[in-house]
């Protein structure tokens, strides 16, 4: 029996994936402790410090150059803040490199998904991004906006017409968008605009009513059907029945109303429409809620797309008219992906992605004061470290540790900043970010930008590398300044000692 157990154990160990964790000197002990606390794991592992003090200084190029002896390694887990293209490192080393968590405390949750990030590549909702004032805008500007909307996730560019406003370049606009690879919809309350757009080759018409269904017979465009009059669902159902007989694709829209002007009732209309027509393609225009509610649109879009997911709505019309809606399309894109992933896994839309958390964070302060005190005890150099806990902003180096919620109180206590402009500038920037993080409840990591989710454009790898080089140059200036000061102090001490000896003689 013991021999059988030993053989089974050996077979199990051989079938386990063997992982290599890369880290820096300061995080190595913490990584070891966290992995030990995770035992038993479904993998075996080893840890290597590839010669950096802070894991965030690691780059893909550095990994490719410094890693050797990878026999038996199935996968390499690198710090979440590692810069560069990991696919190139994987190719160079012949072993897959995976970007892990930014914070080590999130490692257990990371491995709860078998070391695979959540798949947010899939969705089942089309986004129509509307350019609401197209008649007043040049074709070049329309193309520029369309490119932005496409980058942010729009699948169709909606050309919004204006009442009693000439649109002489309507046909030319549709052709220019098609030439650039866009799908196009025309959005108008005027039958003439819809007919012109359809004849020019628009892919979709927003919107046809019971009285204007004749336009569909004149063009090949896919129509979105709406009630004849606001809230008249009987007319919408008649239009749906009439168009279904044509055997052509179409969508229906029950019209979402703003809060206090029928919002709840309009949601029930969509729900009843889905219940009555389970196979119908449905569109929802979400601008009446995002544009007409003075609140951060990330949360509004999250809630809307939760309902959209539950009701299996197939498309949305999104707008970015009000300045507070400037990232509404990007938010809609992320929300549809998060809700799709959650629904597919039969899980809550929580812990999948933090892109819709712009102002706050689920885990804003990864370390408490006692843990930061332990970090301080291990620091042996004069460079200042900054960390944020629930208690406030902690600043420390080998000479001591200070804590406050106000950078103006901290600054006079940092003696190394006196007569050191580069160092003072750097610390001013970092303390300002730390204060914002503490006030809002956001994670702060020194030398890294605060995360604002989809509300702020993510920097490219080239921009991150440039920032890293700039930060490195600033650190070198700080280091040189500190070294000069240390040398000056040492020379001063020697001179004073010499003078004292002369006095004694």
Q: What is the pLDDT of residues 388-443, one digit of tens each?
A: 999 999 999 999 999 999 999 999 999 888 888 889 999 999 999 999 999 999 99
What is the per-residue pLDDT for 12? Answer: 41
Phi–psi pair at 38, nearest 5 degrees = -80, -10
For residues 205-232, average pLDDT: 95
pLDDT at 44 over 50: yes
What is the per-residue pLDDT for 137? Answer: 94
**CA atoms of 353 and 164, how far apart (whole Å):** 44
pLDDT at 45 over 90: yes
What is the per-residue pLDDT for 108? Answer: 83
Task: Map tokens 């460079």 to a residue.
Answer: 383
pLDDT at 5 over 50: no
Q: What is the pLDDT of residues 156-191, one digit of tens each?
A: 999 999 998 999 999 999 999 999 999 999 999 999
**CA atoms of 198 and 206, how far apart (whole Å):** 10
pLDDT at 129 over 90: yes
By three-state DSSP, how is residue 403 classified? strand
Domain ranges of the chain: 15-111, 126-345, 354-505
For residues 480-487, average pLDDT: 56
What is the per-residue pLDDT for 389? Answer: 95
pLDDT at 347 over 70: yes
Which of residues 490 and 216 earns the better pLDDT score? 216
Least reliable range by pLDDT among 96-110, 203-217, 331-345, 464-478: 464-478
| Token representation of residue 130 | 């509307």
| Token representation of residue 298 | 């990330």
Q: Indicate the CATH number of 15-111 among 2.40.10, 3.30.70, 3.90.550, 3.40.50.
A: 3.40.50
pLDDT at 23 over 50: yes
The mean predicted confidence, pLDDT, of the chain is 87
Q: What is the pLDDT of residues 60-108, one digit of tens each?
A: 889 999 998 899 999 999 998 888 889 989 999 999 999 988 877 788 8
In order, the DSSP letters of 159-175 are: EE--TT---TTHHHHHH
pLDDT at 144 over 70: yes
Domain 126-345, CATH:
3.20.20.20
pLDDT at 58 over 90: no
pLDDT at 454 over 60: yes
Cα separations in angstroms, 169 against 3, 54, 135, 239, 319: 83, 57, 8, 31, 21
Task: Map tokens 């709406």 to a residue.
Answer: 226
Nearest to 407, CA basis, from 379, 443, 438? 438
What is the per-residue pLDDT for 113? Answer: 46
What is the per-residue pLDDT for 13? Answer: 46
pLDDT at 18 over 80: yes
pLDDT at 49 over 80: yes
**CA atoms of 354 and 362, how far apart (whole Å):** 9
Q: Which residues does 360 contact at the CB level (< 8 Å), separation at least 6? A: 440, 441, 442
By three-state DSSP, how is residue 292 classified? coil
CB 115 within 8 A of CB 94: no
Q: What is the pLDDT of residues 252-310, one digit of tens each?
A: 999 999 999 999 999 999 999 999 999 999 999 999 999 999 999 999 999 999 999 99
**CA atoms of 452 and 330, how far apart (whole Å):** 13
Strand partners, 251: 224
pLDDT at 488 over 50: no
């Amino acid at each position: 029996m013991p021999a059988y157990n030993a053989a089974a154990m050996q077979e199990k160990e051989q079938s386990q994936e063997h992982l290599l964790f890369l880290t820096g000197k300061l995080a190595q002990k913490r990584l070891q402790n966290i992995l030990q606390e995770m035992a038993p794991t479904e993998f075996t592992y080893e840890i290597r410090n590839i010669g950096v003090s802070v894991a965030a200084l690691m780059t893909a190029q550095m990994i490719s150059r410094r890693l050797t002896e990878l026999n038996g390694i199935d996968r390499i887990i690198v710090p979440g803040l590692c810069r560069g293209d990991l696919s190139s490192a994987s190719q160079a080393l012949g072993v897959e490199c995976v970007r892990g968590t930014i914070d080590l405390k999130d490692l257990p949750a990371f491995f709860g998904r078998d070391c695979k990030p959540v798949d947010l590549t899939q969705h089942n909702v089309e986004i129509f991004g509307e350019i609401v004032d197209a008649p007043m805008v040049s074709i070049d500007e329309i193309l520029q906006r369309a490119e932005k909307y496409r980058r942010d996730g729009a699948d169709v560019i909606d050309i919004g017409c204006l009442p009693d406003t000439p649109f002489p370049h309507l046909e030319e606009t549709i052709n220019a968008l098609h030439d650039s690879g866009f799908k196009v919809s025309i959005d108008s309350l005027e039958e003439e605009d819809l007919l012109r757009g359809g004849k020019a080759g628009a892919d979709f018409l927003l919107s046809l009513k019971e009285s204007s269904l004749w336009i569909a017979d004149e063009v090949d465009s896919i129509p979105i059907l709406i009630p004849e009059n606001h809230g008249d669902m009987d007319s919408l159902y008649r239009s749906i029945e009439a168009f279904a007989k044509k055997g052509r694709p179409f969508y229906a829209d029950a019209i979402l109303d703003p809060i206090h002007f029928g919002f709840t009732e309009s949601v029930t209309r969509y729900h009843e429409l889905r219940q009555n027509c389970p196979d119908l393609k449905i569109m929802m225009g979400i601008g009446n809620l995002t544009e007409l509610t003075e609140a951060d649109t990330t949360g509004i879009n999250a809630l809307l797309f939760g309902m959209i997911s539950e009701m299996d709505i197939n498309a949305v019309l999104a707008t970015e008219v009000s300045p507070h809606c400037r990232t509404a399309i990007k938010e809609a894109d992320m929300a549809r992906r998060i809700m799709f992933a959650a629904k597919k896994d039969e899980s809550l839309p929580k812990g999948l992605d933090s892109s819709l958390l712009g102002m706050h964070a689920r885990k804003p302060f990864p370390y408490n004061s006692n843990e930061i005190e332990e970090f301080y005890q291990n620091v042996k150099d004069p460079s200042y470290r900054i960390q944020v806990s629930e208690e406030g902003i902690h600043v420390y180096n080998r000479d001591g540790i200070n804590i406050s919620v106000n950078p103006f109180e901290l600054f006079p206590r940092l003696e190394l900043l006196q007569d050191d402009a580069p160092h003072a500038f750097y610390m001013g920037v970092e303390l300002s970010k730390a204060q914002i993080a503490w006030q809002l409840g956001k994670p702060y990591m020194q030398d890294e930008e605060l995360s604002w989710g989809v509300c702020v454009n993510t920097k490219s790898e080239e921009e991150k590398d440039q920032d890293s080089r700039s930060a490195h140059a600033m650190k070198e200036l700080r280091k040189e300044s500190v070294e000069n000061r240390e040398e000056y102090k040492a020379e001063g001490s020697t001179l004073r000692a010499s003078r004292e000896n002369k006095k004694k003689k």
